[in-house]
Amino acid sequence: MQLTIQTFIGGVSLGAVYALVAMGFSLVYRTMGLVNFAHGNVVMVGAYLVSTFYLTTRVPFAVAMIVAIAVTGLIGVIIERALRPLENKDFDLMLIGTIGFGIVLEALAILIWGATGQAVPSPVATAPIDVLGIRIRTYDLMVLGIAAAATVALMTFLQRTKRGAAMQAVAMDHEAATAVGIHVGRSNAIAFVIGAGLAALAGGLVGPMLYVSPAMGGTLGIKGFAGAILGGFGNIPGAILGGIAIGVLDSFSAGHFQGYSDLVTFVVFTAIIMIRPTGIFGETTVNRA
């Protein structure tokens, strides 16, 4: 029982990172109907930026994070700008285009940081908290707290601000949104920047939990994406739950199946998604028949 709870808690904190990745996917998808397959690679770049600034310049972790978010936001703008001609036209081509960006980002990371990865020390150096015999790392708590704060901030932005409402309008009907004077391109760019920022946040947070390497983007991206789909693609609260669910699934399959954890995770994910293709909460799409 204790082991189960311990595994569960480990899964939740990793899941919080997946949830941040999933939120980025979902936000971009619901705003412009684009699945950004380069998202995982943006997460990886974010992880590298944070760890590099944090380790070499000795700035506080939070400052390193802000710098990383700014840089990845710029990457987001570039991707959006390059693929803008395809927006609302060919879904599959756009998807493949983002895969192309992912390939480039990974190669750039290898050029800059080398093919081998680096370990990042935890920014909070206190001992784990002991609750009823279950050890919870303080860093995990911090990750959960930041993820929760980011979620609340995003929801507030989307629901309470004029810009957020405009983005929702674009998500529902981009032509009607244009007709009432919303700049669709700018709205999409903002979605992309926020998505990339969330990716950097996830990458920065996951650095001390995993090993930072150019290849990490693939796995993180796919699992975050799986989380987004599991929760109902385009659905922000769904993305959070889906991400955490994937984290927990991952954590249990790692406990039970060791090396085969990825295999089990993806087979289970495929089975769930076949039973319920629209995810737990249903898809919030921009596609209509």
Partner 1 sequence: MTRAAKYRLAALAAAGAAAWLLPYRLDMYAIHVVDVMLLFAILAVGLGLVMGIAGQINLAQIAFFGLGAYVTAILTTKAGLGFWTASALAIAATAVAGLTVGLPALRMQSHYLGIVTLGLALAFTNWTTNAQVAGGAEGISAIPAPPMFGVDLSSPYLFYYVELIVFALALAFGLFVVRTPLGRRMRAMRDDALAAGAVGAEVPMLRMTAFLMASVYGGAAGVLYAGLIRYVAPETFSIANMFLLLAMVIIGGRQNLLGCAVGAVALSLVRELLIDYPTYAQIGYGSIVVLTVVFAPTGLAGLPARIGAVLRRRRTADFPTLGEFTPYPAGPAATGDGPLLSVDGLSKQFRGVKALADVDITVPAGQIRGIVGPNGSGKTTLFNVVSGFYRPTTGRVLLDGEVVSGARPHRLAQMGIARTFQNLRLFGDLTVTDNILVALDRTRTTWIWRYLLWPVGVMRRDRALRAEAEEVLDRFGLCGYGPLRPKALPYGIQRRVEIARAMSRRPRLLLLDEPAAGLNGEEVRRLGEIVRSIRDSGVTVVIIEHNMGLVMSLCEHVTVLAGGAVIAEGTPSQVAVAPQVIEAYLGDSAMAHDIPQATPAETR
Contacts to partner 1 by CB under 8 A: 35, 37, 82-83, 85-86, 90-97, 99-104, 106-108, 110-111, 218-219, 222, 225-226, 229, 233, 258-263, 266-267, 269-270, 273-274, 277, 289
Min CB(84)–partner 1 separation in Å: 9
Closer Cβ to partner 1, 115 or 131, answer by number: 115
Min CB(95)–partner 1 separation in Å: 6
Closer Cβ to partner 1, 92 or 130, answer by number: 92
Min CB(190)–partner 1 separation in Å: 21
Phi/psi at 34 (5° precision) = -115, 130
Closer Cβ to partner 1, 138 or 219, answer by number: 219
Min CB(139)–partner 1 separation in Å: 27
Burial of 36: CB neighbours in 10 Å, binned 0-12, 13-18, 19+:
buried
Cα angle, residue 45 at apex, residues 44 and 50 outer, rounded to 5° = 100
Closer Cβ to partner 1, 143 or 226, answer by number: 226
Min CB(192)–partner 1 separation in Å: 15
| Dihedral angle computed from the Cα positions of residues 274, 278, 282 and 286, in that order, rounded to the nearest 10 degrees | 180
Q: 204 near 254, Cβ under 8 Å? A: no
Min CB(28)–partner 1 separation in Å: 11
Alpha-helical regions (H) of the chain: 2-32, 39-52, 61-83, 91-113, 138-160, 162-172, 174-179, 184-206, 216-231, 236-257, 261-275
Phi/psi at 208 (5° precision) = -70, -15
Cα angle, residue 109 at apex, residues 202 and 14 outer, rounded to 5° = 25
Q: How many residues does the chain have?
A: 289
Q: Which two tokens stand for residue 199?
A: 């990716």
In 3D space, the residue among 238, 288, 285, 289 whose CA is nearest the CA of residue 32 turns out to be: 285
Closer Cβ to partner 1, 132 or 271, answer by number: 271
In 3D space, the residue among 78, 34, 13 whose CA is nearest the CA of residue 287 turns out to be: 34
Min CB(125)–partner 1 separation in Å: 34
Min CB(266)–partner 1 separation in Å: 4
Q: How far apart are CA 148 and CA 158, in angstroms?
A: 15
Distance between alpha carbon 112 and the CA centroid of its chain, in Å?
A: 23
Closer Cβ to partner 1, 114 or 121, answer by number: 114
